[in-house]
Structure 1
């Protein structure tokens, strides 16, 4: 166990160190300052602006939202077209057929919203063309969109009496060219060095040691794997995702993959401090996130370490079902906690095989809005929603007008924040309840009773939170699940984004009011405690009844069977 604790501590220390180190460059990119890559990439950036007729004029929050929505809706349309016609497009050596419309639509919405929910097996469904030009491209663009929204919110918080919050097209272009592309290239090279494949060769036909004919899939995996993790996308090239040895071959690759999921989101918090010059405020947010992460990781790890008593009484401790021996319990617990704390959804083990408590932890992190470090951009602006809620509650308790960073938090901002927090919750609970009343939908379950409820609850939680991981015992490739999950993904992504941009626009237009003695400081121990309590209480009040019906009953059923 000591070695496992050293692994966890090393992960957190390296994450903070490198995220802080990178944040200086990150800040220069999003503020438009010259940086080390300007001589190389600036000509390409200008070419993009010229070709796309982008003038760089800053936008109001409504213009920013409109541009963002149009761009992403067009992305959905383009992916659907590619998937419906992949059988006649090039780079389809295995002659895969076109996807049915409902699956193509679900997949398109999934990748555009940064969810990457997959109701298909990549190695038996997607051509190389679809993987590279539809899915991988959106891995970059959806990540850039999330970071752009976070940067726009930072501008809204830090500017005063301004009607504009930046230019969406400029933010999207700069983040893609200067942040995501260089990091993805470096990361892909590292993955190739570890054994991740990168080719466009036909699948290999071979005979196994048992004398059975076997097909070994090939493909441009490393390039997609890199942005899948850095952009907290999560969609695997293979059905087994990051538990497949062609995606995640070694313990070192596993550690770096988990690290890369959190890297940009953590760095963005330091960027917030750099731009606002309110370093204590940024660090307080980061500390709150890390405290929650350590709590969730500890609960996940201990649950998996002591395992299912029905099995551990026979073969010893740990729950190794659905896990890779090359990773073990500690690395698997770390990865599953990281991927659901962020909006990534990549998995190096089958979450349906997690113990009930560990499965509940992964689901709870998504239910809270994936604000524990979180997805690229989405984790930051999701946490700011809770910050606004926290300062409002504190203001009510002391009878003062709530303020954050010198800006008054008034009725419009509070309304937008509450609606944004509740939107995914409504989707999760409403669609889970509806699904449980549809007999044909229940046929997709592999397990009855409480675990079946957990499978449905996890699916709609993952979709609404734009995570994409799944309890794979649910067969989701049906018309009902394809359309229902697509709706939740779209609302959970763009409903929140528009409300966040509205908050950014409102805050940007406000004056900065000097703090007085009655103003709650948005940093320090008291604020961190208030923020953590607000997050946990909100999650507990919203989801505790549904968690009781699912994983909690599942846990006590497991214990009761052992006692009998």
Structure 2
């Protein structure tokens, strides 16, 4: 580890903390439906959408209607994307003449981008046409991210409102987030990437001659625009198979820094927005403090593991840290930081191959997802997932010290606790159940290229990434098969919507309650004790649930490395 590496990590964290309030203020304006400076230009566009769709943005919805509209919207989008991918071979915008995708790959990909997972069982540059990238996939990068933020707004209203029957209007929330947040930032972001050397063209291939005189085809496309929303919306699906390790997606140290910041910036801002929505910004800062502690702890372990290197290689005279699978232009610190950022959020973009990390260095990205993607999490999904843990934490605190289980002025009762437990239990049930299934069935065992603990880690990471809607991969897994495409598709759908519906039910239940002022019997939820309790609850639930599987995978891999064994 070096001072330069630590400076990068601390500078990254400091910039995000400075941006939390400004971004939160903008998000809060959208949460309340207030005018912004962009309404002068985009207001007519918003009103036009409502007229064409026949929507009254002022007509609010109860949680059931909100959930129904959200589910129908996503089902229709998934079906549309499936059709585009299957018909790719006969549609325009296909300069390479690529054929349509197989039924199982189109099914997996359509669900992947609908659920904000962006898991890719394919190499983008040799599988997807420009039209498929722009129409079939990029549209989901915007709308799945907007859906996550809209859902977070709905839960915020549940905490903030008093004796209310409605939690907002799904269509208005999605429209405002897309028009006034994601789209304007991505326009500026795309221009920055183009100026930094990222291609943006409808050309498919450019043929060049190398210095040796050989002919080489360089694949191009609308990369910069997809890269911008891929990062900002915590989507992660790369235009190229190498993802953000490819110089056309992430050419310089500056673009690398900006891409990491864009993954986290909305998640950080949503914590402040929550505090503002419930009338106490200290509540938002407390959540952000807990997230930051977990993030820095994971970064420290990953950076230490990668900087320490592989003792087996040290014994044969190869000194230094672990540079396997990393780009020289980024180095160990930036690669370790990126891996934690992309898995602490539900982004899944990578600038280094996690399969090539040391055992402990690769375990932290895996564990980040297993915690529920709440360290910062996906845009919207991270904060509403974290608030589910907060409901459990305040209930546990009330049991321990005999205080009334209240959170931000709402009594937490049996209904909210049961629904929170139901939502949180989805991840371990799906991750461990599907991993076990793949570990005993012949089609599942044919997937991992490695054997032993590392092969098990590849399977475990795949289902963890799918259920957690992350999308990154440990690599080394042949996932483009009917078995894995089908099972991972089911995992992604369940990991997204089996959590959302109970969460919206909690929002509806809380919105109908009266506000309960803090009293001497209330447990304080803004100080250091509360932050520590939140961190402890998240780690205990994650640790107790997934420790056995981690022991079979990366921990066993690490112990073997110490003994000089390479699997």
- The verdict on a shared fold, with TM-score over 0.5 as the criterion, is yes
> Which residue is equivalent to 1:309?
311
Larger CA deviation: 359-368 vs 9-18: 9-18
TM-fit CA distance, 1:202: 2.8
Q: Point out the more displaced range, 234-243 or 435-444.
A: 435-444
**Match in the other structure for 1:197:** 199
Residue 552 of structure 1, CA deviation:
0.1
User: After superposition, where does 1:263-302 map in structure 2 within 5 Å?
Assistant: 263-302=265-304
Q: Hey, what's the Cα distance between the residues in 2 that align with 1:260 and 1:51?
A: 32
Is the contact made by 1:150 and 1:381 (CA closer than 8 Å) also made in structure 2? yes
The alignment partner of 1:519 has SS state of: coil
Q: CA deviation at 1:280?
A: 1.2
The one of 479, 482, 493 aligned to 1:490: 493
Distance 2:517 2:19 in 1: 34
- With normalisation by structure 2, the TM-score equals 0.98
Q: 1:403-482 maps to which residues of 2 (within 5 A)?
A: 403-482=406-485
Contact 2:326 2:353 (8 Å CA) reproduced: yes
Residues 156-197 of structure 1 deviation map (CA, whole Å, 9 limit, x = unaligned): 001010000000000000000000000011111111111100
**Hey, what's the Cα distance between the residues in 1 that align with 2:68 and 2:179?**
22
**Is the CA contact 2:311–2:564 (under 8 Å) kept in the aligned structure 1?**
no
Tell me by how many angstroms 1:442 deviates: 1.2
C-alpha distance in 1 between matches for 2:454 and 2:252: 32
* Structure 2 Cα separation of the partners of residues 500 and 254 of structure 1: 34
Distance 2:344 2:213 in 1: 43
In 1, the alpha carbon distance for the partners of 2:371 and 2:135 equals: 33
Structure 1 residues 547-556 or 278-287, which shifts more?
278-287
CA distance in structure 1 between the partners assigned to 2:20 and 2:136 by the alignment: 30
Q: 1:562 to 1:274 in 2, by over 3 A?
A: same
Distance 1:333 1:187 in 2: 24
Whole-angstrom distance in 2 between the partners of 1:517 and 1:28: 33
Greater mean deviation of Cα atoms: 392-401 or 499-508: 392-401
Question: In 2, Cα distance between the equivalents of 1:117 and 1:562?
Answer: 31
Task: Structure 2: state its 5+ residue gaps.
Answer: none
- 1:365 is aligned, of 354, 368, 371, to 368
| CA distance in 1: counterparts of 2:44 and 2:104, whole angstroms | 41
Residues 102-501 of structure 1: pairs in structure 2 closer than 5 A: 102-313=104-315, 314-501=317-504
* C-alpha distance in structure 2 between counterparts of 1:158 and 1:133, whole Å: 37
Q: Is the 8 A contact 1:424 1:488 kept in 2?
A: no
Partner Cα distance (2:314, 2:213) in 1: 35
Mapped partners of 2:475, 2:216: distance in 1 = 24
Shift of 1:516: 2.2
Distance 2:543 2:458 in 1: 19
Superposed displacement of residue 406, structure 1: 1.4
Report what 1:42 is aligned to.
43
Q: Deviations over 1:81-138 (max 9, x none)?
A: 0001011111101000010011001000000000000001110000000000010000
How many residues were matched structurally? 563
Mapped contact 1:60–1:505 kept (Cα < 8 A)? yes
Cα separation, 1, equivalents of 2:238 and 2:321: 26
Per-residue deviation, residues 23-76 of structure 1 (Å, max 9, x unmatched)? 222211221111111111110000000011111200000000000000000011
Residue 312 of structure 1 contacts residue 319 of structure 1 at CA under 8 Å; is this kept in 2? no
SS in 1 for 2:216: strand
Deviation at 1:276, TM superposition (A): 1.7
Write the distance in 1 (CA, Å) between the matches of 2:178 and 2:203. 28
Contact 1:232 1:342 in 2 (8 A): yes
Is 1:513 aligned to 2:516, yes or no?
Answer: yes
Counterpart check, 1:68 vs 2:56 = no
Specify the SS of the correspondent of 2:564.
helix
Aligned counterparts of 1:426 and 1:217: Cα–Cα separation in 2? 41
Rounded to whole Å, the distance in 1 between the matches of 2:314 and 2:33 is 56
2: CA distance, partners of 1:497 / 1:268: 17
Gaps of 5+ in 1: none
Q: Counterpart of 2:217 in 1: which secondary structure?
A: strand
Query: Match of 2:473, SS?
Result: coil
Question: In 1, Cα distance between the equivalents of 2:131 and 2:61?
Answer: 35
Alpha-carbon offset, residue 562 of structure 1: 6.5
The question of whether the paired residues in 1 share the 8 Å contact of 2:290 and 2:531 is answered with yes
Q: In structure 2, how many angstroms separate the alpha carbons of the residues matched to 1:488 and 1:387? A: 25
Contact 1:447 1:473 in 2 (8 A): yes
Q: Secondary structure of 1:347's match? A: coil
2:50 is aligned with 1:54: no
Partner of 2:32: 31
For residues 379 and 319 of structure 1, the distance between their equivalents in structure 2, rounded to whole angstroms, comes to 31
Query: Do 1:312 and 1:318's aligned partners in 2 also have CA atoms closer than 8 Å?
Result: no
Q: Is the 8 A contact 1:265 1:373 kept in 2?
A: yes
Give deviations 1:464-521, integer Å, cap 9, x for gaps. 0000000110010000100100101001001111111111000000011122212111
Residue aligned with 2:207, SS: strand
Partner of 1:559: 562
* 1:399, distance to aligned residue in structure 2 (A): 2.9
Q: What secondary structure, in the 3-state scheme, does the structure 2 residue paired with 1:235 have?
A: coil
Cα-Cα RMSD: 1.1
